[in-house]
Amino acid sequence: MGKIEDRSGLLVGKGEISTFLGGASDYMLKKYLEMGLPVAIEGTLWIAHKENIEEFFKHYTRRKVANVARAMSDFGEKGNGK
């Protein structure tokens, strides 16, 4: 993983954004962008703000809570999917 420079919450470059997201792969970055990850992309320069990304995931995970009961119903009594 790379290093994040101190820019008062600003993330500059795909590498810093990936690092902030715990080392997200290119595949996961693409998925997050498709879901609406707040990143400005100007040519090859990626820019984001930490607070915007955190708010995005707060909203995303809050929305997904509704699906937990449905997902858990797919598991057996022991929670192993059998």
Condensed to tens digits (0 to 9), the pLDDT of residues 20-68 reads: 999 999 999 999 999 999 999 999 999 999 999 999 999 888 776 556 6
- pLDDT value at 3 more than 90: no
Residues 6+ apart with CB under 8 A from 7: none
Distance of CA 11 to the CA centre of its chain: 14
What local confidence, expressed as pLDDT, does residue 29 receive? 96
User: Which residue, 44, 42, 39, is CA-closest to 18?
Assistant: 39
Q: What is the DSSP letter of 65?
A: G
